[in-house]
Amino acid sequence: MVQDENGIFVPFDFELIKKNLPDLSRLDYKLTVHSFDPIIDSSNMTPDIWLEMARLIRDNYEQYDGFVILHGSDTMAFTASVLSFLLEGLQKPVILSGSQLPIGEIRTDARENMMTALEIASTKHNGISVIQEVCILFDNKLFRGNRSFKYNSAKFEAFRSPNYPVLVEAGIHLKYNFEALLYNGDKELVFHDKLDNRVGVLKLFPGIRLETIRAVLQSDVRSIVMETFGSGNTTTDPAFLDLLKEAIGQGKNILNISQCKVGSVELGRYETSQGLKQIGVLNGYDMTFEAAITKLMYLQGEFEDQELVAFWVEKDIRGELTVND
């Protein structure tokens, strides 16, 4: 972002990066810059743009050692999550980064974030990319993209990944957590190009009206992400459970994720989630909200059969969840 004549932050052409980051000329890299048209604020992100990003990587995959995507932080975790599902079997890094302060500001964090992202994206061992997944680089830490979320809008430390270790810490040296990295060298590289955004959200709170619940469950969606309490708990009110059961009977998938940022859903551990398990509510385990939403979009794009969507949403397919059964 840069400030316009009215002092409002607006998107700018990425070609201006060279002006604001003169140190790029010191890198022994061949860099190619692609600027999307139109340039958008990340709050205007859409599934069509996600698919365009995936196609751009697909079409240029053989020409480059890695890809760095400069992206607004507000929806970065959604983009990182969905790209992890669209780009199956990656053997090269796709790293999203950006900044909390615009690149033209004196104290901007954009310079360090971008330079570190480029260094990590270019790192190889025995000719093989060390990073083989979609990641987020922010404030000297590299996170798995589909395990991350933006938690702070005021600090440079904007992202966290509480349910999965940091992949790389950048200090004087780059410290890689090799045991936490994905390795896809023996997997077939597959690019997926369909998303179905018929996904709803039901965030529970004490006192939520049945009419509100019914409106979400009866909306024109194939799946609902239900944000529950603690380790996946809800009210045991029979009227509430009947509404869920009715929606499931109509062929809709209901995925249970916790409103807590740390920990996992454990269906059936408490009486307050036993009924959910019995009627067929699906377990989202420790998936982030961003991963749950985009994973359902991806699976619904892949499968017309709701049972297949239900089967795969509970499986770890890109390192996005830890099964605790």
pLDDT of residue 29: 82
pLDDT of residue 18: 63
Please write the tens of the pLDDT for every residue from 153-202. Answer: 888 788 999 999 999 999 999 999 999 999 998 888 899 999 999 999 99
Residue 7 in tokens? 């002092």
Residues 175/176/179/180 CA torsion (nearest 10 deg): 110
**Could you tell me the domains of the chain?**
2-191 (3.40.50.1170), 199-313 (3.40.50.40)
Q: What is the pLDDT along the chain (325 residues), one digit of tens a residue?
A: 556 566 665 655 656 666 666 666 677 788 888 888 888 888 999 999 999 999 999 999 999 999 999 998 899 999 999 999 999 999 999 999 988 776 666 677 768 888 899 999 999 999 999 999 999 999 899 999 999 999 988 887 889 999 999 999 999 999 999 999 999 988 888 999 999 999 999 999 999 999 999 999 999 999 999 999 999 999 999 999 999 999 999 999 999 999 999 999 998 887 777 889 999 999 999 999 999 999 999 999 999 999 999 999 999 999 999 997 6
Strand partners, 124: 129
pLDDT of residue 106: 65
pLDDT of residue 12: 59
Q: What gap in Å lies between CA 143 and CA 161, rounded to an integer?
A: 7
Please write the tens of the pLDDT for every residue from 83-110. Answer: 999 999 999 999 999 887 766 666 777 6
Q: What gap in Å lies between CA 217 and CA 322, rounded to an integer?
A: 27
pLDDT of residue 272: 72
In this structure, the strands spanning 223-228 and 141-144 are unpaired
Q: What is the pTM of this model?
A: 0.92
Q: Which DSSP string corresponds to 144-182? A: EGGG-EE--SSSS--EE-TTS--SEEESSSEEE-GGGS-
